[in-house]
Every structure is written in C-alpha cells, then in structure tokens.
C-alpha cells in the first residue's frame, strides 16, 4: 500500500450568504510535490486556503494529514501541523532585522532573563538562508529588502517552523524574471527536502514549468485535477471559463460610436499604472477586464485624478485633463464631466448615514447653487427629479441610503454624477453585491446613459458581463493594457487568454 | 534612520556619513554656536548643569520612545510625574523615608501606566484621547491632594541624596545614565524590545507568532508610568518641595525630544540613541538661550523650530 499523501482535503464545502464559495472540493498533496491551483477570480482558491490554515471553518468536509484526520480551527493549529502560508501581502516587521523576523515569537533565550541570544539566532538565520541559497546579511532590517528578498525571509520563517506544507499565493506576481528563476530554484530545493507545496498562480506557464499536478477550480467546484503533460494552456483556459452568471441581459450594441470623449496616450501613474493607451467614444460602453491586481481600479483612480498621473496625457473631449502636477485631482475631473462609480460603493461612493437627497446632490451643489446659497426647495426638486429619472425605489428623498438595496444604492451613485453633469462614467464593478434582477436594471441604466450620448468605461471581473454588455473591451495585466478586443472577438476565452500569463 | 536601527541592533559597522541623523548635526552646530556666542557655555559647571537639567527629560523620553514606536502616545506622563512628586513629598513630610516615598511615587506611576495601557492596548482607545483623559485625572488629583499649594518641609534626606555625587558625577546624571543603559538593553537585547518593534510595525504578525501582544503593549505604558515615578524623585529633590503643577508640559518636551531624535509615529521605526541626542539638543538649546538672556516665552518658539528643522533635514535626506 502506498504511503498516504501529506495532505488530503476531502469534500470541502463552504457557503457564504448568497455565494457558494466551495462545493465538494477535494485536493491532495504528496510530499515533495508542487500542486498548482488555478481559476478565475472568485473560483474558490482563497477560500480553500483559508480553510487549510484555519482562518475559515468549512461547512462540510475533512482534512487528513499523513492519513490522520485533523481539526484546524485556528492559524496556530495549522502551524503546529506544519502548514505555512506565504501571502501576497507579506507579513514582516519593517524595522526588525531578518533574524528577528524569522524567529519572531520564538527567539533563542540568552543568558539574562528575557534576553535574546543574538549570536545563535543570527547563525541559525544564516543557516536557513544558506539552505535557500540566499546570501543576505541577517542584520538587514526588513524594510530595506526587496519583495523577492522578503519572500525568501518568509520562506526561511516557514522552514524554521519546520513547515511540511507550504502554500504560496501568487508568489511571482511582483518579481522580476531573474528573481522568479531564483524562487523556482528554491522551490526545487524544498521539493527535494520533501516539502509539499500548493502554488496558486495566474501565470499558466508556471503550471507547466513548475507543477507536478494542476487543479482547476471554477465557481467553487473542482473542474479537474491532472498532470500538466496531459493538458495544454488552451484546455486550461477552456476549463476556467464557463462561469455561471445570469446573462439574460441583451443589449443593442452601438454601431456608430461618436467622437472620442476620453483618450489616454501612454499614461503612467504613481500607483503603478504604466503605458496605457485607451479611447472611449460617445455612445460606447467599453469594458476593462483583467484579473484581480491587474491594475483596473488603479487605472480608474488615475483617470479620475484620485491618484497622481506622472506621465500622461488624458484627454477629455480633446482637452488635456491632467497636465502639470498642480492641475490634477478629482476637482478638475468632475468639472470636466468624469464621474467615478467606485467598487466600494458603501465607503467611496455614498455617505450611508445621509439621505438619498444629500447623496444625489453631493457632487451637484456648485451646479445647483452657483451663488453658494442653499435653497431647500431647489434641492428637493433636483432630488425628486433624479429619483424619478433613475427609478430609485425609496419611500422618500429623505430616506437614509443605508436602508436601500444594493441596486438602488448604485442608482444613487450614478444619479450623483448625473446631477453633476457628468458625461463620462467610469463603473468599477457596478454589479458587485447586487442581485440578479437589479443587475439587468443597472445595465439598462448604463445603456440609457450612453444612448443619450454619454460614454462609459466598465470594469468587471465577471467575464460574461463584459461580453454581454460591452461594445469593446480592453484587457489589463501587470498594470498595463495588453490588448483590445473588438465586438467580434469579445469572448470569455479571448479575454482570459490575454489576462493570464503564458509565454 | 534604518541604517542606525541596524547599528543599534548590534551590527558592528562603521558609521557612514549618510547614516548620521539630522539631530546629530543640529546638536553639534548649536553647541559650536553657543560656545562662540554665549560666554560661560563651555565651562565645566555649565556642562554639568545641562546634564542635570536634561536628566528628568531623559527619564521621560526613554519610555516615550517605546510608546511612540508602538504607534502610541502618552500625554499624561508629565502630569503623572507631578502627581507622583506631590505624593512623594507628602510621604516625606509625614516622616516616611526616601525609600517609602519612592515606592509611593512608583506606585502612582505604575497605576497610571497600567490604566493607560489597558485603555489603549486592551480596550483599543486612541492613545491621544485615553492619555488626555488620564492627564486630566492626574493633574486634578495633584491639585486636590495639595490644595493647590506647594508641599514644603520634606526634610534633608532627599535633597542630600539629590546633591550627592559618585566619582564626581551628580546623582541625577547617574540616574539618567543608568536608565538609558537599562532601556537600551531592554530595547535591543530582549524579546520585549523586539516585540516593541513588532507592535508598531506589524501587530498582526506578532499575534500570529503566538506572543501575548496585549501584555507587552500594556507593559510599554507601565514603563512610562514607572519612569515618571523615578522622575518625581529627581524633580522633588531638585526643588526641595512638591509642586502640583511643576511638571506641566514636560510631556511635550519629551515627545519633541523623541521626534527630533528620529523616531517616527509609523511602522515601529524608532532609535533610542536618537532620543538621547534629542534630549541633549533640547537641553543645550534651553541652556544656551538662557545664557544669552532670551526670554523663556521665546524659548518655546525655538523648540518648535527645532522639531520642524530636524524633521525637515531627515525628510530631505530620506528622499535623496
């Protein structure tokens, strides 16, 4: 009988209100095996990892370690079993040196009570780093290290805890080619030592160079577990799409777009966005697709002026919007007619504890009251007009926005920009957290806006939405636009192919 | 300041010019200027005087460094020192010895430090608000206990201790030096010290490492209270009496010294030797301006300018 696998997760299920995050997912990892995990945003990868390290209790299913059933109720349980997770957000203490970070909470005791045996700690840290082939001064404080070096320290920390199973969440996302090679060497060393590795990646190439097996998740379901040699990039992409979303919405696409109203030429921004070219014409809904972290929201913030653009230009109706550094910022964008419907509606789009009327008029005060005198009657009239036009379901204009449904809240955000006279709308995940019926209504609203001559740029992680709603789409990866898909080429597979790395 | 953190954490590397913090330049420039323009600045007696005057501030700046590193603040530390001084004086007046008086002063400091720590670390109150509250309590307790009057007639034992010297070193400088060495050891050579860096830099990482984060966080504030108690011993000895309002505003000098020394309010970035330099800079500045007969109202302006200039130097160099 063969030895039981290092880790076995059997029939794991987890539901959040309204979402089936994981449904009967099984996964096993052998000693010395790299098991890659791929899937779209929201496919269930993160939830599976959370279950594994005790941050989230599964509704059903069991976990076995070397054939023994175990209960992982907290991160401490996971650590005792030898599970270590290296998150994308690294968790080092910036002003402690490498050795202190590796042994945080487990320092070697020195001669005096409470004191630390620095010599032993540094020697042990050097030994661990040498195992990883890293030549770093263990006295360097963490904040001086690059991302790759910080990652090495995290790996050394995991090794010092005698981790037998290492989970790496997109470890190469912020690394250069050379650093990736080094990381792969380290992973090779770990494998030879018998450490099992679960490796999450959006770069499909890595599945083939690194993985011993690959598991594809989609909508919380396991689509397949297979050997890389048995499959291809195309097949993996096909398995990842087919995301179930109600796409009953059918729109009449725009055949004859008008003048370009928003033009970006080689835009670079402080938040990482680089070299973006993009055009949105009047009457168009243009999609902006990409995986989480591809830089879509950053681009939206840069266009809106919320983050500084370092090299530009952005043109709105032919007029340069953010030129010299002192002329940027949302004030100018709003005046130029740009409205941002942000992803986090409840914190960035609305003041939840204020009334529908207050929110609707928040950006329109200068337009409504050019002389700075507030007129309650004119305000009420303006609000009532918008509520009627947008069909916001609210008992009164004075209702607090926090009591509205997600769809109606979204309408209020849109209404805010309508009142301010916006002609270019940037929607960042406009349907997130909105039920199916209301989604169609939101799309209807966007379509009405562009039919009236406005332009819309829509960010969405739901590929079917982009395909169903947009006239064209741009695909982002690594903080830049990597491709444009015209209506005829706009399919889920094409988007995903561009959005993922595969060299 | 990172280079210095490394040096201070035990690295044995030569100090590179680029790593010298702004406060060191300011201290040297001020000293040279006063040596030229303020007659008597360089006399041995005056230099000793600067040390003596700086020692109480140092006692407060040491724990304040740890508190600010933990992304906290203790506004009550001056008021607690005042209250502890009054309690100490009252014990002496009633015939208790210096040891008993010190124990009472430390008890006062411990209580307030514990209170601050519990409010901030356990109840999660903003440090500014929590310690503003305890500042008010300590301040008014001191006034109630003394009826707003100075407590005089504390006897000879404490003044005698205060004016005593050891190998020619005044008592207060000795206390300051010992306190510095103790804090240096604590911050750079113990687990507790490593956890101070971690509480400010990445509290979650420390919690996940299984350390008793809250306990250590509270301890940081308790140290502040205890050092206020020690400071009360020096202040009462120097003034030969207990004054309920004598220590008002000391928290601001302590915070200024820490900031000037290069400790920042973010990410657990702190440097204890910098706080020592900051305290000395403040001491030199006040002393020199006194010698130049600058009115004390203008001296406050100079401290404000000092803080701004020191931060400016570091931020310009940090960018370069």
ipTM score for this prediction: 0.79
pLDDT value, residue B5: 41
Q: How sure is the predictor about A311, in pLDDT bands with cuts at 50, 70 and 90? A: low
Task: Report which of A328, A331, A329, A336 is spatially closest to residue A261, judged by C-alpha positions.
Answer: A336
The per-residue pLDDT of chain B, averaged, comes to 86
- What is the mean predicted confidence (pLDDT) over A59-75? 86
A485 within 8 A of A492, measured Cβ to Cβ: no
Residue A435 has pLDDT above 80, yes or no: no
User: How does residue B19 score in pLDDT terms, banded at 50, 70 and 90?
Assistant: low
Q: Is the pLDDT of residue A251 over 90?
A: no
Calculate how close chain A gets to B250, using CA atoms only, in Å. 28
Residue B260 in this model has a pLDDT that exceeds 80: yes
Q: Tell me the whole-structure pTM to 2 decimals.
A: 0.72
What confidence tier does A343 reach under pLDDT thresholds 50, 70, 90? Answer: confident
**In the Cβ-directed half-sphere of A444, how many Cα atoms lie within 13 Å?**
13
A200 beta partners: A37, A169
CA angle A349, A355, A361 (to 5 degrees): 65
Q: What is the mean pLDDT of chain A?
A: 82
Contacts of A100 in chain B (CB under 8 A): 9, 194, 197
**Contact status, residue A215 vs residue A474, Cβ threshold 8 Å:** no
User: Residue B211 and residue B121: Cα distance in Å, rounded?
Assistant: 14
State whether B201 and A93 contact (CB < 8 Å).
Answer: yes
pLDDT for residue A501: 67
DSSP A295: S
Q: Please choose, from the candidates A486, A466, A482, A481, the residue with its C-alpha nearest in 3D space to the C-alpha of residue A40.
A: A466
Residue B206 to residues A49, A96, B196, B210, Cα–Cα distance (Å): 21, 12, 10, 7
Cα torsion for A190, A192, A193, A196, to the nearest 10°? 60
Closest CA to A83 of A99, A102, A64, A96: A64
Residue A455 has pLDDT above 70, yes or no: yes
Total Cβ atoms within 10 A of residue B173: 18
Q: What is the least distance, in Å, from the CA of A94 to any CA of chain B?
A: 6
Question: For residue B204, which residues of chain A lie inside 8 Å, CB to CB?
Answer: 91
Per-residue model confidence (pLDDT) at position B1? 38
Tell me the mean pLDDT in the region A146-155: 83
Q: Residue A11: its pLDDT value, please?
A: 87
Q: Which residues of A touch B192 (CB under 8 A)?
A: 114
Q: Going by DSSP bridges, is the β-strand pair A196-200/A34-39 parallel, antiparallel, or unpaired?
A: parallel
Residue A210 has pLDDT above 90, yes or no: no
The alpha carbon dihedral of B98, B100, B105, B110 has a sign of: positive
Q: Which residues of A touch B (CB under 8 A)?
A: 75-76, 79, 91-97, 100, 104-107, 110, 112, 114-116, 118, 139-141, 143-144
pLDDT of res. B142: 92
> Which residue, among B1, B3, B4, B5, would best test binding to A if mutated, counting the most A CBs under 10 Å from its CB?
B5
Separation between Cα atoms, residue B77 and residue A241, nearest integer Å: 62
User: How confident is the model at residue B7, as a pLDDT?
Assistant: 38
Instruction: For the beta carbon of residue A119, count every other beta carbon within 10 angstroms.
Output: 11
What pLDDT does residue A242 have? Answer: 63
- Return the half-sphere exposure (C-beta side, CA atoms, 13 A cut-off) of residue B15: 9
pLDDT computed for residue A277 by the predictor: 87
**Substitution target from B66, B209, B210, B219 for chain A, most A beta carbons within 10 A:** B209
- Under 8 Å between Cβ of A354 and A404: no
A122 vs B17, residue with greater confidence? A122
Q: How far is CA A284 from CA A216, A254, A424, A453, A471, in A?
A: 35, 6, 10, 8, 6
* pLDDT confidence of residue A503: 47
Which of A96, A110, A136 to mutate against chain B (most B CBs within 10 Å)? A96
Q: What sign does the dihedral A241-A244-A250-A251 (CA atoms) show?
A: negative
pLDDT band at residue B16, thresholds of 50, 70 and 90? Answer: very low
Range with the lowest mean pLDDT among A245-249, A358-362, A474-478? A245-249
For residue A75, give the chain B residue with the closest CA: B208
Distance CA A393, CA B11 (A): 66
pLDDT greater than 80 at residue A252 = no
Report strand pairing: A60-65 vs A7-16.
antiparallel
Which bin fits B71, alpha (ψ -120 to 50), beta or left (φ > 0)? left
DSSP 3-state percent helix, strand, coil across chain B (nearest 5):
75, 0, 25
CA distance A486 to A255: 12
Residues in CB range of A63: below 8 A, 6 or more apart:
A7, A8, A9, A10, A12, A51, A52, A69, A70, A71, A72
Closest listed residue to residue B279, CA positions, set B7, B65, B1, B9: B65
In this predicted model, what pLDDT tens digit does every residue of B52-65 receive, in sequence order? 889 999 999 999 99
Q: Which residue, B238, B202, B280, is CA-closest to B26? A: B280
Least confident of A420-434, B72-86, B246-260: A420-434
Structure tokens at A264: 């970006």
Q: Which residue from A93, A95, A116 is facing B190, i.e. has the nearest CB?
A: A116
Q: Decide if B2 and A143 are in contact by the 8 Å CB cutoff.
A: yes
Mean pLDDT on A280-295: 86
Residue A219: its pLDDT value, please? 81
- Cα–Cα distance, B282 to B285 (Å, whole number): 5
Residue B280 has pLDDT above 80, yes or no: yes
């Amino acid at each position: 009988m063969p030895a039981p696998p290092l880790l076995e997760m059997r029939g794991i299920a987890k539901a959040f209100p309204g979402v089936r995050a994981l449904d009967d997912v099984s996964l096993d990892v052998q000693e010395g095996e790299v098991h890659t995990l791929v899937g779209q945003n929201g496919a269930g990868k993160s939830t599976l990892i959370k279950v594994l390290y005790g941050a989230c209790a599964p509704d059903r299913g069991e976990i076995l370690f070397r054939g023994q059933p175990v209960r992982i109720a907290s991160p401490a349980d996971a650590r005792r079993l030898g599970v270590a997770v290296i998150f994308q957000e690294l968790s080092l203490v910036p002003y402690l040196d490498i050795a202190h970070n590796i042994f945080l909470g487990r320092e070697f005791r020195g001669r005096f009570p409470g004191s630390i045996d620095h010599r032993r700690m540094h020697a042990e840290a050097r030994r661990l780093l040498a195992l990883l082939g890293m030549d770093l001064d263990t006295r360097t404080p963490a904040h001086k290290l690059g991302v790759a070096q910080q990652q090495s320290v995290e790996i050394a920390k995991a090794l010092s805890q005698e981790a037998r199973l290492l989970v790496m969440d997109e470890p190469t996302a912020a690394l250069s080619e050379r650093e990736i090679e080094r990381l792969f060497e380290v992973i090779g060393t770990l494998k030879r030592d018998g450490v099992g590795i679960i490796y999450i990646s959006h770069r499909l190439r890595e599945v083939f160079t690194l993985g011993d097996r690959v598991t594809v998740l989609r909508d919380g379901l396991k689509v397949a577990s297979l050997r890389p040699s048995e499959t291809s990039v195309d097949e993996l992409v096909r398995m990842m799409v087919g995301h179930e979303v109600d796409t009953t919405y059918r729109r009449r696409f725009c055949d004859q777009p008008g003048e370009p109203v928003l033009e970006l030429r080689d835009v670079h921004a402080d938040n990482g966005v680089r070299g973006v070219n993009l055009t949105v014409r009047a009457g168009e809904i243009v999609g902006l697709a990409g995986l989480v972290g591809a830089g879509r929201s950053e681009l939206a913030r840069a266009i809106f002026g919320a983050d500084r653009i370092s090299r530009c230009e952005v043109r709105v109706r032919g007029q340069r919007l953010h030129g010299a550094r002192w002329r940027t910022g949302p004030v100018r964008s709003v005046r130029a007619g740009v409205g941002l419907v942000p992803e986090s509606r409840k914190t960035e789009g609305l003041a939840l504890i204020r009334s529908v009327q207050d929110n609707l008029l928040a950006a329109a005060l200068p337009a409504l009251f050019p002389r700075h005198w507030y007129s309650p009657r004119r305000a009420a009239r303006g609000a009532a007009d918008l509520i009627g036009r947008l069909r916001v379901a609210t008992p009164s204009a004075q209702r607090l926005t926090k009591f509205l449904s997600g769809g109606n809240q979204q309408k209020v955000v849109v209404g805010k920009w309508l009142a301010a006279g916006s002609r270019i709308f940037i929607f960042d995940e406009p349907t997130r957290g909105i039920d199916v019926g209301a989604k169609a209504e939101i799309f209807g609203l966007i379509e009405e806006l562009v039919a009236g001559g406005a332009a819309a740029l829509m960010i969405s992680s739901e590929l079917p939405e982009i395909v169903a709603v947009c006239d064209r789409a741009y695909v982002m990866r690594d903080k830049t636009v990597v491709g444009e898909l015209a209506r005829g080429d706009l399919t889920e597979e094409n988007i995903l192919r561009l959005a993922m790395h595969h060299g | 300041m990172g280079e210095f953190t490394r040096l201070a954490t035990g690295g044995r590397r030569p100090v590179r010019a680029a790593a010298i913090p702004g406060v060191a330049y300011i201290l040297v420039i001020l000293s040279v200027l006063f040596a030229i323009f303020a007659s008597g600045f360089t006399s041995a007696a005056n230099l000793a005087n600067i040390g003596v005057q700086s020692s109480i501030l140092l006692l407060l700046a040491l724990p304040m460094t740890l508190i600010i590193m933990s992304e906290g603040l203790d506004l009550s530390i001056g008021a607690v020192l005042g209250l502890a001084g009054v309690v100490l004086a009252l014990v002496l007046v009633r015939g208790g010895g210096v040891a008993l008086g010190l124990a009472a002063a430390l008890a006062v400091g411990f209580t307030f430090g514990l209170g601050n720590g519990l409010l901030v670390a356990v109840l999660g109150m903003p440090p500014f608000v929590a310690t503003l509250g305890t500042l008010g309590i300590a301040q008014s307790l001191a006034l109630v206990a003394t009826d707003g009057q100075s407590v005089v007639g504390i006897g000879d034992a404490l003044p005698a201790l205060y004016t005593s010297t050891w190998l020619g070193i005044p008592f207060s400088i000795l206390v300051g030096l010992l306190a510095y060495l103790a804090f240096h050891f604590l911050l750079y050579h113990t687990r507790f010290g490593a956890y101070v860096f971690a509480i400010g830099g990445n509290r979650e990482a420390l919690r996940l490492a299984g350390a008793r984060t809250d306990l250590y966080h509270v301890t940081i504030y308790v140290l502040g209270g205890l050092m206020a108690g020690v400071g009360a011993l020096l202040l009462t000895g120097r003034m030969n009496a207990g004054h309920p309002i004598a220590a008002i505003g000391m928290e601001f000098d302590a915070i200024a010294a820490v900031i000037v020394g290069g400790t920042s309010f973010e990410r657990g970035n702190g440097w204890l030797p910098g706080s020592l330099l900051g305290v000395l800079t403040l001491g030199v500045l006040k002393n020199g301006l006194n010698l130049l007969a600058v009115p004390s109202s203008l001296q406050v302006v100079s401290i404000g300018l000092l803080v701004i200039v020191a931060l400016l130097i570091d931020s310009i160099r940090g960018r370069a």
